């Protein structure tokens, strides 16, 4: 019998996965919105390809008797229970390298749009107004400090772009090797508390995890300079929505550019109604080039499982007991 590969979440067709896997496996799409739906359709799979919307938790993992591995079509793997999968020998992989530039560009787009008042000014023009009053308070970017929470692939790409605008860049990332800041030509702080009071602009680029949940809370926002801007293209869980609203009320924040939210796809009503917020629907990753690339790369990882060649982007290595598929030696920077 040919192995079965199930592609889940909001994907409606499996063209890219078929291209990569069609000669060795049967690929099917299961458009699930909950783990329960996966329980009735995915338990016979030899491999799963999943997006970020549906949680892959212990109840499903318990039933994955044949599954060699779960591949996240994307970077963030916070919706997959890596430990539960590892305990059953199921590999969890991600696709770390498909959309770094897109997310960095999107971050700068949000930063520029909030700083240069793009949306309110555009709306005013559409009402046949011709005035610069919507620009009042807009800062000169050159010389402003951009604080980065997390300076991995995307944080680094953002730093390079922000430097071209003349911004001073400082990051907090406890896991970057000593001297990384020198190689990049920026500065770093040893703690988040040291980063925040310097950050006229704060941009979040760390993964969502137990450690980073609500890392940016009211206390953190209170440490920002008055009149700051917040950008989040990482994960909604890292920034407490209530803290953004409190930051607007206290004047610590005057603008926010958000691509990700605590309760996707629902967006907190107060944020939606506030024209100091510019929003996009978890879309920073997308480009015509990135979308097929992420899907082909995810399918290639599955191909490695099925052909018993070592999997590359394994993100649950330290939880794995008796892995069901071979894995490559640990890569530098692998979680
Ligand atoms: N909005 C979107 O469409 C997309 C969002 N993302 C999100 O962006 C995140 C970052 O992506 P990459 O830069 O490619 O990942 P990465 O793994 O290269 O970088 C993440 C960095 O965060 C650092 N970090 C971990 N814990 C931290 C903490 N407590 N405080 C400060 N820094 C911490 C790590 O040391 C690492 O350097 C992903 O985890 C994902 O959630 C990624 C792609 C698309
Ligand atoms: O790569 C990521 O982590 C992203 O957030 C974007 O891709 P996704 O929609 O999560 O598969």
- Report the alpha-carbon distance of residue 111 to residue 158 in Å, rounded: 11
Strands, E assignment, 131-287: 145-149, 168-172, 187-189, 201-204, 228-232, 253-258, 277-279
Q: CA 335, 215, 162: angle at the middle one, nearest 5?
A: 80
pLDDT by residue for the chain (335 residues), tens only, comes to 899 999 987 777 889 999 999 999 999 999 888 888 899 889 999 999 999 888 999 999 999 999 999 999 999 999 999 999 999 999 999 999 999 999 999 999 999 999 999 999 999 999 999 999 999 999 999 999 999 999 999 999 999 999 999 999 999 999 999 999 999 999 999 999 999 999 999 999 999 999 999 999 999 999 999 999 999 999 999 999 999 999 999 999 999 999 999 999 889 999 999 999 999 999 999 999 999 999 999 999 999 999 999 999 999 999 999 999 999 988 766 77
Annotated active-site residue 282? The verdict is yes
CB of 284 closer than 6 A to ligand 2?
no
CB of 176 closer than 6 A to ligand 1?
yes
Name the catalytic one among 235, 303, 304, 317: 235
Is the Cβ–Cβ distance between 82 and 313 less than 8 Å? no
Is the predicted ipTM greater than 0.90, yes or no?
Answer: yes
Name the catalytic one among 264, 293, 296, 334: 264
- What residues pair up with 170 in beta bridges, in sequence order? 147, 187
| Topology of the domain covering 100-279 | Rossmann fold (3.40.50)
- Report the alpha-carbon distance of residue 36 to residue 273 in Å, rounded: 34
Name the catalytic one among 282, 296, 324, 334: 282
For domain 4-98+288-319, which CATH number applies: 3.40.50.720, 3.40.50.920, 3.40.50.300, 3.30.499.10?
Answer: 3.40.50.720
Annotated active-site residue 235? The verdict is yes
- Report the alpha-carbon distance of residue 85 to residue 26 in Å, rounded: 23
CB of 75 closer than 6 A to ligand 2?
yes
Q: Model-level pTM greater than 0.90?
A: yes
Residue limits of CATH 3.40.50.720 in the chain: 4-98+288-319, 100-279
Task: State which of 76, 235, 238, 296 you would mutate to test the pocket of ligand 2, scoring each by most atoms of that ligand within 8 A of its C-beta.
Answer: 76
Ligand number with the minimum distance to the CA of 96: 1
Annotated active-site residue 102? The verdict is no
């Amino acid at each position: 019998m040919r192995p079965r590969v199930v592609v889940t979440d909001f994907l409606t067709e499996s063209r890219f996965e078929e291209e990569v896997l069609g000669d060795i496996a049967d690929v099917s799409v299961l458009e699930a919105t909950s783990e329960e739906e996966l329980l009735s359709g995915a338990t016979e799979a030899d491999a799963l390809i999943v997006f970020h919307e549906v949680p892959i938790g212990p109840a499903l993992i318990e039933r994955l008797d044949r599954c060699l591995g779960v591949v996240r079509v994307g970077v963030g793997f916070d919706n997959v229970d890596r430990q539960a999968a590892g305990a059953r020998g199921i590999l969890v992989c991600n696709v770390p390298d498909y959309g770094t530039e897109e997310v960095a560009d999107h971050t700068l787009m949000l930063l520029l749009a909030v700083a240069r008042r793009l949306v309110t000014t555009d709306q005013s023009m559409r009402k046949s107004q011709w005035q610069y009053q919507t620009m009042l308070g807009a800062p000169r970017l050159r010389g402003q400090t951009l604080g980065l929470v997390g300076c991995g692939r995307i944080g680094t790409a953002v730093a390079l772009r922000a430097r071209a605008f003349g911004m001073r860049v400082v990051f907090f990332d406890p896991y970057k090797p000593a001297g990384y800041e020198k190689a990049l030509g920026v500065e770093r702080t040893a703690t988040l508390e040291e980063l925040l009071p310097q950050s006229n602009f704060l941009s979040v680029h760390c993964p969502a995890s137990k450690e980073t949940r609500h890392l940016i809370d009211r206390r953190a926002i209170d440490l920002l300079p008055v009149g700051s801007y917040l950008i989040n293209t990482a994960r909604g869980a890292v920034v407490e929505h209530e803290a953004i609203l409190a930051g607007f009320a206290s004047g610590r924040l005057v603008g926010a550019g958000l691509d990700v939210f605590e309760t996707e796809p629902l967006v907190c009503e107060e944020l939606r109604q506030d024209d100091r917020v510019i929003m996009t629907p978890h879309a920073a990753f997308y480009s015509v080039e990135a979308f097929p690339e992420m899907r082909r790369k995810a399918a290639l990882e599955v191909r490695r499982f099925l052909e018993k060649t070592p999997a590359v982007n394994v993100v649950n290595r330290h939880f794995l007991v008796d892995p069901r598929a071979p894995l490559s030696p640990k890569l530098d920077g692998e979680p």
